[in-house]
Structure 1
Amino acid sequence: MLHYPTSHNHYTFTYALKACCFLHDDNKGREVHARVIKTGHFSDTFIQNSLLHFYVTQADIASATRVFNSIPKPDVVSWTSMISGLNKCGFVEEAIVKFMSMDVPPNSTTLVIVMSACSSLGALKFGKSVHGYCMRKLSERNVILENAVLDFYMRCGSLVSARLFQEMVQGDEVEPNEATIVNVLSACSSIGALSLGQWVNSYISARPDLVLNGIVGNALINMYVKCGEVGMAVSVFKTLVCKDNISWTCSHTGLVDQGLMIFNAMKNVYRIAPQTQHYACLVDMYGRAGFLEEAESFMKEMPTEADGAVWGALLNACKIHGNEKMFKRIRNGLLKSRGVSIGTYALVSNTYTTHERWDEADKVRDEMRQMGLKKLAAYSQIDVDPNIL
């Protein structure tokens, strides 16, 4: 289009700007903007809104504001684009102020964005007034808007959310979709609303069209874990036909939480002083669940210096999850510690061997020989009464 400057109308400019948005090509978009001005098409509201959308997509709020302010009579699309841009770029309060200055009625898309802004700010009072406007002015129910309203109340910790969800379930016009259910379960996780979460679980079971897999199953597991019902979380996990990485993480999170609870009870309730092997178990638990950073932090916060068992647990976790960067860091820290043992050296050597890094494995073995450490040959014993063979 830029090579053929004649015979352009608002359709060609609009499609060109859409292409620039899709390609995230800021320079070409500005060239189109310049061409719009030169050809005298800037007064076209259709093109003005396209330019506004382009700058919002590029997160260029300053340019978007200039375009918006140059529109003589912004329509609902103009206002919605500007409010959306402010909200997405973190100017949440400004987005609400812009909404309050609208001189045209907002549509459902505008209201979804404003409810999202209210959720971010925790603006319960203003959000309630926006919800009231939705109920008074919108004749048709909109599942996306209802999800936004529901999410708003949940994030603000309001029990109104429970009533709204139940109204959606019991109504005939709008049936909660996966996004609605995930939002509700996520909110239950945040505020510890176990009863509502269990009610949602029952609702899911009664819906034959809802498969307990993917995001719904993961959200349900996460809800039970965050509410302290680890047993239920494991039960849900076992029913999932397709378990993805998030499913495993959610279930492991529950087991980690349970392990920490037992560890803390051992210290604080039963007054049992943790020994090195207890710390090693905790590091191993974190590591096997994939929480390598947490495992390392826990090890650093130990009241005593980590011994070979603790270092070995963390090294083994790095090996399991293929985190080579952390493996190197832990390996260097291990070799400087006083708790190094033949077993941990052997683990380092074996890890390098597994990844066919023979030179590094040989260096570790050389260090072992220099320190006078020798790996004992493995052997097994069986008890054949009365002799041990």
Structure 2
Amino acid sequence: MFAPFSQYQLPPPRQQHGRFPKRIRRAPKEPHHPLPVITPERTILKFHRLLSDGALTLNCRTFRSLFKACRVLSALEEGRQFHTQAVKRGVLCDVFVQRSLVRMYAKCLACHDAHKLFAECNVPDVVSQNDLIIGFIKIGDLKTARKVFDGMGERNVVSWSIMVDGYARHGQMEIAQDLFDSMPERNEFSWNSLISGYLRCGSVEVARGIFDQMRPEWSVITWTALISGYAQNGQFKEALDLFLEMQIAGVAPNKITLVSILPAVAQLGALSQGRWIHAYMDKMGMEVDSVLGSALVDMYSKCGCIEDAVGIFEKLKHKELSAWNSIIFGLAAHGRGREALCFFSRMQEDSLRTPNDITFIGVLSACAHVGLVNEGQMIFDLFTNYYKITPNIRHYGCMIDLLARAGLLQEALEFVEKMLVEPNAVIWKTLLSACRIHKKVEVADRVWRKIIELGPQDSGFYTLISNIFNESGRWDDAGKVRRKMNDLQVRKIAGCSWVEVDGVVHEFLMGRESFHAQSREIRCVLYEMEKLIKLEGCNAEQ
């Protein structure tokens, strides 16, 4: 049934071994203190040496300690071997050994072995059952997890919370909500699980409603979950507003909170808020590790402070792949493509850091921003042939953008035709935009015929090709495009932008002047600026 213990190759026995070592007997509590020195292999060797010397008494306490060590280390094979020895020694009749063995198998995700042993337990306990439920949830077997849960004679709040979290993690929110509503007692974990589940499904308003119901039992974990959810669902202003509410409520953000809010700050360009967060880290003595460092690099880059971003990167003690990717993307976005390539070269010199598909996008973007066509083509070959990274639609998009920006529209179109994936709207729009810039009406015609076959509903396509036809004097064709747009009831989506002034984020929607409280004053200033621009002999529209 289980692997024989004799399969392990062991050294000859050594003398002067004492009793079973405390570090094995007293395995640390999971998951905060894994065995720092004695690995699973060394644990087995030490155990066998003591056994060979006859200096170790194999009793129930010994096996409980061994199973606990294997559970902490997720050392399944070693646990199976100890199980075999426990059967031989006849100690499995002990209730506590049974429970320890069940928990070990469950933690190692050998859930069906754990379930079989659990069914044979003389006195099943709630802790073992909870571990078993967690194991089945992790392997995606919610049906069996629920069966164990329903069969529990005595459930505690942890049991309920684990089951709610399992359904929420797998997107089964209706069942999770029903179970949550049935809970005789709720804890913070169950509330947070429900909030996180709705956020993962994109139901941000529902998550916010549950968050408001929790008042006043919000912890930093709850605040962070909702802030992260807002940011991941593209509601950056709401994320920043909630972060400010958190400060007013007197809840101190932790590292995860800061990593969650920094992308929202970056997207909004809220530099003063980003600097405040950075200063807060320094004040609290937080170590800027690679995770925080990457978020700061990204924030400073997107807020226009590329020198600050480079400074943060250079100060990082350990530069993980995410940090390298952030600085390469930042330099590329600032038009410093050659510097981005230099950083990529430095990264290649670090044998511990292998570039991934995200790096691939950043480096190709750097080439596109500064027109390094030959370098971009070489890098594309490097990633596909040397690093064996299969290009996806974003990689192809970068290459087409590179060729299109350089005016190589024919080559770009040929590249599209050779792609191993279907071109998406972004690629076609990139080509159309380049056709307009480089006055390539013939290529635009070919691209437009391809787009028409897809029956697009994106107003951007129609607007672009209409402008191209207008600028080339083909007014009849432009009129046909506009009429087709009306026939298909395609409407242009209003643009939206943000700007931060004195720590306040202002939002603007195209076509809705009254949306902002100071819209009249803003229009007056723009009008004055337009007059000054014209006096300088420039075209204000351009």
TM bracket, shorter-chain basis: 0.5 to 0.7
One-letter amino acid of the structure 1 residue matched with residue 251 of structure 2? L
Residue deviations 1:158-206 (CA, integer Å, cap 9, x gap): 22343134304532521222222222333456xx4231x3202112223
Displacement of 1:299: 8.1
2:235 aligned with 1:122: yes
Report which stretch shifted further, 20-29 or 8-17: 8-17
- Taking the TM superposition and a 5 Å limit, the aligned residue runs for 1:272-351 are 278-282=408-412, 293=423, 303-304=442-443
- Taking the TM superposition and a 5 Å limit, the aligned residue runs for 1:55-66 are 55-66=167-178
> Structure 1's 169 and 110: CA in aligned 2 closer, same or farther, altered over 3 A?
closer
Q: Which residue of 2 aligns with 1:244?
A: 355
Match of 1:138 among 235, 238, 251: 251
> Structure 1's 264 and 64: CA in aligned 2 closer, same or farther, altered over 3 A?
closer
Match of 1:178 among 290, 315, 319: 290
CA distance in 2, matches of 1:194, 1:75: 43
> Structure 1's 13 and 238: CA in aligned 2 closer, same or farther, altered over 3 A?
same
CA distance in 1, matches of 2:315, 2:418: 35
CA distance in 1, matches of 2:443, 2:245: 59
Q: Which residue of 1 aligns with 2:17?
A: none
One-letter amino acid of the structure 1 residue matched with residue 326 of structure 2? A
Displacement of 1:152: 3.1
Q: Is the 8 A contact 1:283 1:296 kept in 2?
A: no
Residue deviations 1:73-93 (CA, integer Å, cap 9, x gap): 322112111111111222122
Gaps of 5+ in 2: 1-114, 372-400, 446-542
Identity %: 14
One-letter amino acid of the structure 2 residue matched with residue 279 of structure 1? L
Q: Which residue of 2 aligns with 1:234?
A: 341
> Structure 1's 205 and 149: CA in aligned 2 closer, same or farther, altered over 3 A?
same
- Taking the TM superposition and a 5 Å limit, the aligned residue runs for 1:1-389 are 1=115, 3-4=119-120, 7-36=123-152, 39=153, 41-42=154-155, 44-119=156-231, 120-122=233-235, 124=237, 127-134=240-247, 136-138=249-251, 142-168=254-280, 170-188=282-300, 192-195=302-305, 197-207=306-316, 209-211=317-319, 214-240=321-347, 241-242=349-350, 243-246=354-357, 247-259=359-371, 278-282=408-412, 293=423, 303-304=442-443
Displacement of 1:123: 5.6
Displacement of 1:69: 0.8
Residue deviations 1:341-379 (CA, integer Å, cap 9, x gap): xxxxxxxxxxxxxxxxxxxxxxxxxxxxxxxxxxxxxxx
CA distance in 1, matches of 2:420, 2:337: 18
CA distance in 1, matches of 2:242, 2:427: 47
Q: Which residue of 2 aligns with 1:330?
A: none
CA distance in 1, matches of 2:256, 2:198: 20
One-letter amino acid of the structure 2 residue matched with residue 216 of structure 1? A
SS at match of 1:137: coil
Q: Is the 8 A contact 2:340 2:363 kept in 1?
A: yes
Gaps of 5+ in 1: 267-277, 307-389
Residue deviations 1:256-312 (CA, integer Å, cap 9, x gap): 34335896586xxxxxxxxxxx43444588899999948985789882599xxxxxx
Displacement of 1:128: 2.6
Q: Is the 8 A contact 1:115 1:152 kept in 2?
A: no
TM-score for the superposition, normalised by structure 1:
0.62
SS at match of 2:214: coil
Root mean square deviation of aligned Cα: 3.7
CA distance in 2, matches of 1:129, 1:305: 46
TM-score for the superposition, normalised by structure 2:
0.46
SS at match of 1:73: coil
CA distance in 1, matches of 2:119, 2:281: 56
CA distance in 2, matches of 1:262, 1:234: 18
CA distance in 2, matches of 1:177, 1:32: 41
CA distance in 1, matches of 2:172, 2:124: 26
Q: Which residue of 1 aligns with 2:531?
A: none
> Structure 1's 289 and 218: CA in aligned 2 closer, same or farther, altered over 3 A?
farther
Displacement of 1:110: 1.4
> Structure 1's 62 and 125: CA in aligned 2 closer, same or farther, altered over 3 A?
closer
> Structure 1's 62 and 296: CA in aligned 2 closer, same or farther, altered over 3 A?
closer
Q: Is the 8 A contact 2:168 2:193 kept in 1?
A: yes
CA distance in 2, matches of 1:52, 1:262: 51
One-letter amino acid of the structure 1 residue matched with residue 141 of structure 2? D
> Structure 1's 206 and 299: CA in aligned 2 closer, same or farther, altered over 3 A?
closer
> Structure 1's 200 and 138: CA in aligned 2 closer, same or farther, altered over 3 A?
same
Q: Is the 8 A contact 1:14 1:50 kept in 2?
A: yes
One-letter amino acid of the structure 2 residue matched with residue 170 of structure 1? D
Report which stretch shifted further, 295-304 or 226-235: 295-304
CA distance in 2, matches of 1:6, 1:104: 43
